[in-house]
Amino acid sequence: GQKVVLITGCSSGIGLRIAVLLAKDEKRRYHVIATMRDLKKKEKLVEAAGDAYGKTLSLLTLDVCNDESVKQCINSVKDRHIDILINNAGIGLVGPVESFSMDEMKQVFETNFFGVIRMIKEVMPDMKKRKSGHIIVISSVMGLQGVVFNDVYAASKFAMEGFCESLAVQLLKFNVIMSMIEPGPVHTEFEMKMIADVSKKEYPGADPETVNYFKNVYLPSSVDIFETLGQTPDDIARCTKKVIEADSPRFRNLTNPLYTPIVALKYADETGGLSVHAFYHMLFNLGGLMHLSMKAMQCLTCGCLRSRSISPN
Ligand code: NAD
C-alpha cells in the first residue's frame, strides 16, 4: 500500500519541493501530509502540486514549536500511522553573536532542535510499536562543521546531529531507520531572509570591527558561495527521495559533493586546528575568493571523497 509521509514546514523551500516530488510519484507510492504553521500560506504548494492535491497530497496545520499543535495534528492522522516523518521546518540566524538577544537564540533552538524532538517524541512510539518507520531530518553541512557568524544556527544543527546519532542506535533495534540530510547552500527563502535581514539590522552590541568583518568580508563571500555552489530545493528533494527509497538508507547524507572535503578535513585532524585555520585563511586572506579556494581544496583532497555524498540525479 501507500506509505504515509508527514513533512514539516511545507509552505516554502525544501519542504514544499519534497512534498510535491513525493506526491507526484509516478507509481503513487506515497500519501503526503504536507504541514505548515499557517494554512493561509498554502497557495504556492497547492499550485505546484497540481492534480496531486486532494489525491496523494493533503494539508494539515502544524507548528513544531507548539505541543498542542503537534499533538492535534498527529491525532488527526488516520490511526496516527506515519511511515516516514520528514523534519524540515527550520530557521536561520546569521550575524555577530554579541548582537543577538538570548530570546532570539532560544527561538533557533526551539525550532531547529526542540521542534524536531517534539515531532519525534510524538511519532516514534507508534513506529516502535509497529516495528517500522523512517525518520528523516533536514540537517545541514553546518550540523557537522561550524561556520563563522552562523554560531547559533550551527550549534542547533550540531545538537540535532548528536541527538539523532544517539537515538539511531536504539531505533535500529525496533527496525526504525534514522537519516540525516546535510545540504550545503540551497537557493530558498532562507537565503533571501538572511540577505533582507542583514540590510535592515543594526547589530547593536557588536563592535564596529566585528560588524565590518561580518558585513564587508563574510557576507560578500557568503553570497558568492550561494551563487556558485548553491543547489536548488529540487536537488535536495531528489536526494531525500533517494534516501527514502534506498535498500539500506545511510545515516548521513551530504547532498553537495563540494562539501565532502570540508567535512573530511575535520576528521583528518583531531586537534581541530586544520579546519579552524583553513576557514580563517579563507575568510580573511582570500575574502571574495572563498569559493575558489574551496574548489582548490576539492582538488587537493582525494577524489574518492566525492562518492561520499549523495547525488540528486
Ligand atoms: P525556508 O525558510 O524556505 O523553509 C523553512 C520552512 O519552515 C518555512 O516554510 C517556514 O515557514 C517553516 N517553519 C519555520 N518555523 C516553523 C515552525 N515553528 N513550525 C512549522 N514550520 C516552521 O528555508 P529552507 O531552506 O527550505 O529550509 C528548510 C530546512 O533546510 C531548514 O531546516 C534549514 O535549516 C535546512 N537547510 C537549509 C539550507 C539553505 O541554504 N537554504 C541549507 C542547509 C539546510
pLDDT on residue 300: 52
The secondary structure of residue 231, as a DSSP letter, is B
Give the per-residue pLDDT at 304: 41
Ligand 1 pocket, 183 CB below 6 A? yes
DSSP conformational letter for 275: H
CA distances from 161 to 39, 142, 274 (A): 30, 10, 22
Q: What's the whole-number mean pLDDT along residues 274-295?
A: 68
With 0.90 as the threshold, say if the pTM is over it: yes
Distance from the alpha carbon of residue 111 to the mean position of ligand 1, in angstroms: 9
For position 276, what pLDDT does the model report?
Answer: 86
> Residue 303 C-alpha to ligand 1 middle, in angstroms?
31
Give the mean model confidence (pLDDT) for residues 153-170.
Answer: 98
For 205, other C-beta atoms within 10 Å of its C-beta total: 13
Cell numbers 516516514 label which residue? 84
CA 207 – CA 220 distance, rounded (Å): 19
SS3 label, residue 264? helix
Fold of 3-210+231-257: Rossmann fold (3.40.50)
pLDDT for 288 equals 44
Q: What is the pLDDT of residue 297?
A: 60
In tens, the pLDDT along 236-249 reads 999 999 999 999 99
The Cα 239–Cα 231 span in angstroms is 11
Range name among 17-31, 86-100, 167-181, 265-279 with the lowest pLDDT average? 265-279
Asked if 103 and 48 count as a contact pair (C-beta separation under 8 A), the reply is: no
- In DSSP terms, 134 is beta-bridged to 84, 177
E-state strands within 208-266 = 252-254
What residue type is assigned to position 290 of the chain?
A: M
153 is catalytic: yes
Check if 143 has its Cβ closer than 6 Å to any atom of ligand 1: no
Q: What is the DSSP letter of 232?
A: P
Q: Rounded to an integer, what distance in angstroms lies between the CA atom of residue 147 and that of residue 155? A: 10
Spacing, Cα 293 to ligand 1 middle (Å): 28
Res 285: pLDDT: 73
Cβ–ligand 1 distance for 194 under 6 Å, the answer no
CA 260 to chain centre: 16
pLDDT tier for residue 302 given thresholds of 50, 70 and 90: very low
Any known ligand binding at 11? yes
The answer on whether 23 is annotated among ligand-binding residues is yes
Q: For residue 12, how far is its CA from the centre of ligand 1 (angstroms)?
A: 8
CB atoms within 10 A of CB 181: 26
* Banded model confidence at residue 296, pLDDT cuts 50, 70, 90: low
- Mutate which of 85, 188, 228 for ligand 1 pocket (most atoms within 8 A of beta carbon): 188
Confidence of residue 82 (pLDDT cuts 50, 70, 90): very high
ipTM of the complex: 0.99
Q: How many angstroms separate the alpha carbon of residue 9 from the centre of ligand 1? A: 6
**Which of 1-15, 56-70, 108-122, 182-196 is least confident?**
182-196
Could you report the per-residue pLDDT of 200-210, keeping only the tens digit for each? 788 889 999 99
* Residue 54's pLDDT band (cuts 50, 70, 90): very high
pLDDT at 107 over 90: yes
Mean pLDDT, rounded, for 297-306 = 49
Residue from 53, 153, 218, 259 carrying the catalytic annotation: 153
Residue 224: pLDDT band by 50, 70, 90 thresholds? Answer: confident
**150 Cβ closer than 6 Å to some ligand 1 atom:** no
167 is in an annotated binding site: no
The residue whose CB lies within 8 Å of the most ligand 1 atoms, and thus the one to mutate among 138, 226, 239, is: 138
Pocket of ligand 1 contains residue 229 by CB under 6 Å: no
State the average pLDDT over residues 157-180. Answer: 98
Q: Is the pLDDT of residue 214 over 70?
A: yes
Cα separation, 11 vs 43, whole angstroms: 8
d(CA 257, CA 229): 10
Residues in the chain: 313
Instruction: Say which residues have a Cβ less than 8 Å from residue 269's Cβ, sequence separation at least 6.
Output: 275
DSSP track, 79-148: GG--SEEEE-------S-GGGS-HHHHHHHHIIIIIHHHHHHHHHHHHHHHHT-EEEEEE--GGGTS--T
Q: Rounded to whole angstroms, how far apart are CA atoms 127 and 53?
A: 26
